[in-house]
Amino acid sequence: MLFAGLAREVGNAPSPAGGSRRLRRLPGPFGGGGGPSWRNYAMGLVFGLGAMAVRLGSSPIVGEGRALPTFFLGVAAAACLGGVGPAIATLGVMLAASPWFPSPPGSEAAVGGATAMGLGLYALSGGGVAYVGGRVRRSLARCELARQVAGLQADERLRAARVEEERLLREQVDLRETAEGQSRRLEDLLREVREKNAFLTAILRQVPAGLLVAESGTARILLCNDEAGRISRGSIRPGLPVDLEGADGLIGRRSDGSTYGPDDWPLARTLRDGEAVADEEIELEFSDGERRRVSVSSGPAVDESGRPIAAVAALLDVTARRAAEDGLVDSERRFRQLAEAVTQVVYITRPDDSIAFLNGRWFDYTGASRDHVEVKDAWLAAIHPDDVPVVLGARARSKEAGGATEIEYRIRGRDGSYRWFLGRSIWVRDESGALTSRIGTATDIDDQKRAERAARFLADAGARLAALTDAETALREVARLAVPAFADWCAVDVMDARGGLRRVVAAHDERDPAWVVETISHRYRLRPDMPQGIFEVLATRRPSLVSDLTDDHLRAAARNEEHLTALRAFAPRSYMCIPLVGREGVLGALSFATTRSGRRYDRDDLGLAVDLGARAAVALENARLYDRLREADRRKDDFLATLAHELRNPMAPISNAVSILRFKGSADPDSRWAHDVIDRQVSHLVRLVDDLLDVSRITRDKLELRPDRMDLALAVADAVEIARPAVDAREQDLRIDIAPGPIPMVADRTRLAQAIANLLDNASKFSDRGAAIDLHVAREGDRADVRVTDRGAGIAADQLPRVFDMFAQFAPVLERSQGGLGIGLALARGLVELHGGTIEAMSPGPGRGSTFVVRLPLDAGVADARPSPATQPQPGVDETARARVLVVDDSEDIAESLGRLLSLHGCEVHLAFDGETAFRMAGSIRPDFAVLDIGLPGMNGYQVAEAIRNEPWGRDIILIAVTGWGRANDRRRSAEAGFDHHLVKPVEASALAEIIADPTSTYP
C-alpha cells in the first residue's frame, strides 16, 4: 500500500506552471522533473553510498550496534533532493548493503530470526522517510513553483514594463534622431537648394535663350532670366501676368501679321490648357517701333500626380538668323533666277558627287527629265564617250585637291548632236575646311571652238597658201587642210585654157571605200543641170549651200545608176560649193561635203568657205603670177647672161690685143698711155658685167663661195690691187693701215677682195681728185674690222638706210658724174653677209665724207674650207714653151688674138672656128691643151669636149672652156662634159698661162 501511494504521488506530481518563460523544475522522481531521471537515481545512489560511508567512518564513535539509523539520513536526503524514486532506490541499496554492517550483540539482529523483521521495519521506516521526504519535496516544489510563478509573473510584468520603457525610450531616441536627421536633411536640402539655385541662376544667366517660369495658381511669371529681359527689352519681368498685361506696350505679331491677344501668348496657353508650344515665331513690336523676331517654345510642369503646377517658356532671339535666312532665301532666289536666266548650264553637287541643283538649261539642251538626274552620275550618259574619262579624271583631281578645275568636253543635245562646252567648277568649304559642295558651270563654246578652228584653219591655209608658189600644189594643200578639219570630202576644180573643168584634187576620209571615192571623185562629175551644183556656181559666181542633202538631191546629181549607188554609199549630209574668182575671172571651184561627222553646214560655215575660196583664188592667182615672174626672172637671167656673153666676146680680143701690145712693148708714151686707157676701161667694163651677174646671183641665192683658210691681209692686198688703177687715175692718196700679226679666217679670198675693192672704188668715185682715202684693218676680239674712210661727198642721214639698196643713186641722173650702176655697195653687203659678217655706213652729213665698216667673224663658220694653194710664181715663156694648144672660137678676132698671145708665151698654137673642125684637128694634131668656146656653130663646145673624151687619144688632153657664160650651172655643165677648167671671157693671159704651165692649178 505504501509503495502504491508512493507511486501515485510520483505519478501525480504537479507540472510547472505555464507562462511566457520556462519554470525551473525540482530534481528527483517526485519533483516536477527537471533534468533526466537517471541523474536523480544517480543522486540517490550517491546519497546511499555516502550514508554507508558515513556509517563506516563513524563506527568508532557510534559503535557497531547502530548501523541502520545513519542510512535514514541518506534516504531522507535522496527523498528531499531527488524525490521518492531516488529515495526508494537509495533505501534499496542500503538494505542490500546492510549485511555488511554487523548488529551489536543483544540486538534483534543478533538473535536469529530477528534480522528479517528488522530489515522490514527498516524498509518500512525508510519508506515512510521517503514518503515524508517526498511530500516535503513536493511542498517545497509547490512553494518554489508558486514562488517561481509569482516571480515569473513579476518578471513578466517587469519585463513588459521594461519593454514599454525601452519602447518609449527608443521612440524618444528615434524621434530625437529623426528630428536631428530631418534637421540635417533639411539643412542639406536647403544647402542643395541654394547650390542648385546658384547653379540654375548661373545657367539661366549664361544660357543663350530667354527662360520664363509661370506659376499655375497665380498665373504670374515667377522667373525671368537676363536673356528674356534683354529680348523683351525689360517688358517681361517677374510678377507680370502671363497675359502680359502691363508689358509696356509690347505687341506680338504672327507671321501673317495678326496680333496676339492676352490669352494667345504661348505661356498663357500652356498654363491654361496645358498646350505644348514648339518653335512658334513671334514678331515683337516695341513702343518705339523696333521689331524683333523671337522663337518661343513652352510646356507645362506637372507634379507626381500629373497636375500642372507651372509653365516654362524658352525664348530665342532669331532676328539676326531670320534676317540671314531671309537674305539667304533671297540670295537663293536670286541665284536660281540668275541660274535659270543664264545660257550656261549651272549645277551644284554634294560631296558624294550627287546632284543637288541643276538649272533648266541642262534639261532644255539635253531633253533629259528632271527625275533622271536624281540617279547618281546619270548625267554622264549625255557626255561624249571619249570625254567621260576626261570629265571623271578632272572631277577626281579637283576633289582631291579641293580646288577649281577647268576642262572642255562635249555634251549631246536633244537632237543627238554633240556640242563643245567649257566646264568650270570649284569646291566650297565650311568653316572647318570640310568640302560641302561643288558649284560648276558648263558654257557652250561650240561656236567659239568652231570659230577658233575656222580661224586656225584659215590661218594655216593662208600661211600654207602664201608659202606655196606652185598653183596645183597650193590647191592640193587647201584640200588637205580642209579634211578633216572642215569637211569629210573636198574637191578642187580649175578652169582649163579651153574653158572646161579639170579636177586637181579630191581629198576624202581614209575610211571611205576606194570604189566610192573613185566613182564620185574621178569617174563621174555632177550633172551640169543640178540645182546649186558646181556649174551653176561657176555660171553665177555665187556660192551654194545645201545644209541637208536628201535622196532627191542625190538623184538630181547622179549621171546614172552606178553614180547614184556610189553617192548613196557615200551618204553626204551637207554640201557647199564656192567659186574661185580672181581678177581675171572665174578660176575654178571648191566643193565641200560632210558624211561621217554628221556636221550640218550653216551660213557661218558658208562664210568660212567663201573666205577660204577667196584666199585660194588669191593663192592660185599668185602662183600663176609667180610662175610668170619666175619665167620673167629666168628670162632676165638669160638676158644678163647673154648680155655678159655678148659683151665679153668683143672685150676678149680687145684685151688680148692690148696684152700683145704690152708684151711687145713700145717706146712711144702716147702708145703706152693708149694701152693703159684701153686696159683700164676693159677691166672696168669686165667688173661692171661681173658685178651685175654677181648681184643677180646673190638676190637669187645662187652665188657659191669657195672658202679657204687664209689671212685677211691677203684679201685686202687683192682688193687694193683691184682698186689701185682707179685710185691712181684720180691721183688719190690711199693710206693703208693693217694691224701687225696674222688675222686668220675662213673665207672666199676672191669674193672678200671683191667686196673690199667695191668699198674702195666707191670711196674713190665720191672723193675729189688728190683726196686721201684711209683703209684700216684691225683685229677686235673675235672679229676683224675693215674700215674705209673718205673725205668726199658724204651721205645725208635720211639716205643712210638705203645706201646698200640695189641701184641706189642719191643724185639726179644729169648730175651724176661718178658713173656706175649703183650695185657695188649692194654687192659688197651681199658678199659680206655670205661670210657671216656685217657692213655699216656712217657719215656726218653731205660734204663731210663717209666711213664704211666691215665686221667679219674670225671663225666665219663657212663649211668645207680647204687650204689655200701655195702661191705660184707667174709663169714665164719657159714654163709654157713647147705646149701644143688648140684654140677654138667662132669669133676669128678672139681666136686669133688669143692664139697670138699664147704664141708670144712660146706655145704651139692651132686655130679652129667651129666644132666639127675642132674635133677633127684634135684627132690629127693631138694637142696638149684645147681652149674651147662653148657657143660654137655645129657642134657646141660641150659636144666637142664629150666627143674628145670618148676617144682614146682625147682622155689626156687638158680641156679649157673659155666662154662668156660664167654661172654656177654653166661651170657644172662644163665639168660634166669633160672640161678641166672653166674661164670667163675676157681671159687674162696670166690665168691661161698659169694653167698651161701647171694643168693641176685651180684657177677660179
CB atoms within 10 A of CB 129: 23
**By mean pLDDT, which of 8-22, 94-108, 532-546 is the weakest?**
8-22
Cell of 73: 539520513
**CB burial readout 106-128, b (16+ within 10 A) else e:** eeebeeeeebeebbeebbebbbe
Lowest mean pLDDT among 145-154, 258-267, 607-616: 145-154
Question: How large is the average pLDDT for residues 342-346?
Answer: 87
Report, as an integer, the average pLDDT of 712-726: 88
Distance CA 775, CA 755 (A): 13
**Is 483 in contact with 499 (CB distance < 8 Å)?**
no
Over residues 258-275, the mean pLDDT reads 88
pLDDT tens across 354-398, in order?
888 888 888 888 888 877 777 788 888 899 999 999 999 998 888
Read off the pLDDT of residues 454-473 as tens digits, 9 standing for 90 and up. Answer: 778 777 777 777 766 676 77
Domains in the chain: ranges and CATH: 2-162 (no CATH), 207-323 (3.30.450.20), 342-444 (3.30.450.20), 450-631 (3.30.450.40), 682-703+708-863 (3.30.565.10), 875-997 (3.40.50.2300)
Res. 869 pLDDT band, cuts 50 70 90: very low
Q: Residue 378: how many CB atoms within 10 A of its CB?
A: 15
Position 249 scores a pLDDT of 79
Q: Who has greater pLDDT, 400 or 702?
A: 400
Cell numbers linked to 770: 688728190
What is the band of 597 on the pLDDT scale with cuts at 50, 70, 90? confident
Of residues 857 and 335, more confidently modeled:
857
Indicate if the pLDDT at residue 669 is higher than 60. yes
- Average pLDDT of 313-333? 84
Tell me the average pLDDT of the chain: 79
- What's the pLDDT score for residue 874? 43
Q: What is the pLDDT of residue 141?
A: 73
Q: Is the pLDDT of residue 112 over 70?
A: no
Give the residue, 486 or 540, on which the prediction is more confident: 540
Q: β-pairing, 958-963 with 908-912?
A: unpaired
For residues 491-499, give the mean pLDDT. Answer: 81
Put the strands of the sheet holding 585-594 in their side by side order.
501-508, 489-495, 585-594, 574-582, 544-546
Res. 868 pLDDT band, cuts 50 70 90: very low
Task: Give 51-105 pLDDT, tens digit per residue.
Answer: 777 767 666 665 555 555 666 777 777 777 777 777 777 777 777 776 666 555 5
Who wins on pLDDT, 872 or 307? Answer: 307
For residue 965, pLDDT over 80 is answered with no
Q: What is the pLDDT of residue 815?
A: 37
Residue 979 has pLDDT above 90, yes or no: yes
Stretch 32-58: mean pLDDT, rounded?
67
pLDDT given at position 8:
44
**Residue 882: is its pLDDT beyond 90?**
no
More confident site: 759 or 84? 759
Phi–psi pair at 745, nearest 5 degrees: -165, 170
209, 492, 538, 574 from 546: Cα distances, Å: 75, 18, 16, 6
Q: Which of 495-509, 633-647, 789-803, 882-896 has the lowest average pLDDT? A: 633-647
Banded pLDDT at 819 (limits 50, 70, 90): very low
Sign, CA dihedral 576-580-586-587, equals negative
The per-residue pLDDT for 422 is 94
Across the range 839-843, mean pLDDT stands at 91
Asked if pLDDT for residue 701 goes beyond 80, the answer is no
Predicted local confidence at residue 19, as pLDDT: 43
Of residues 753 and 584, more confidence is placed in 753
Beta strands in 496-609 (DSSP E): 501-508, 544-546, 574-582, 585-594
Burial of residue 401, with CB atoms counted within 10 A of its CB: 0-12 exposed, 13-18 middle, 19 or more buried: exposed
From CA 75, how far away is CA 86, in angstroms rounded?
8
403-438 per-position pLDDT tens digit: 889 999 999 998 888 889 999 999 888 888 888 889
SS3 at position 280: strand
User: Do the beta carbons of residue 828 and residue 755 sit within 8 Å?
Assistant: yes
**pTM of the full predicted structure?**
0.44
Q: Are 423 and 409 in contact (CB under 8 A)?
A: yes
* Gap between the Cα atoms of 218 and 216, Å rounded: 6
Q: What pLDDT is stored for residue 543 in this prediction?
A: 92
pLDDT tens digits for range 542-565 = 999 988 888 888 888 888 888 888
**Above pLDDT 70, what percent of the chain?**
81
Question: In this predicted structure, what is the pLDDT of residue 10?
Answer: 41
Ranking 85-99, 274-288, 364-378, 600-614 by mean pLDDT, the lowest is 85-99
Lowest mean pLDDT across 324-333, 421-430, 722-731? 324-333
Q: Which pLDDT band, with edges at 50, 70 and 90, does 294 fall under?
A: very high
Calculate mean pLDDT across residues 969-978: 88
Order of all β-strands in the sheet with 308-317: 220-224, 210-215, 308-317, 291-302, 277-285, 251-253
778 falls in which pLDDT band (50, 70, 90)? Answer: very high
Give the residue among 604, 590, 614, 615 at the shortest CA–CA distance from 490: 590
Determine the number of helices (DSSP H) and then strands (DSSP E) in the chain: 27, 29
C-beta of residue 779 within 8 angstroms of C-beta of residue 743: yes
What's the pLDDT at 529?
A: 62
Per the model's pLDDT, the better-predicted residue between 503 and 642 turns out to be 503
Strand partners, 443: 422
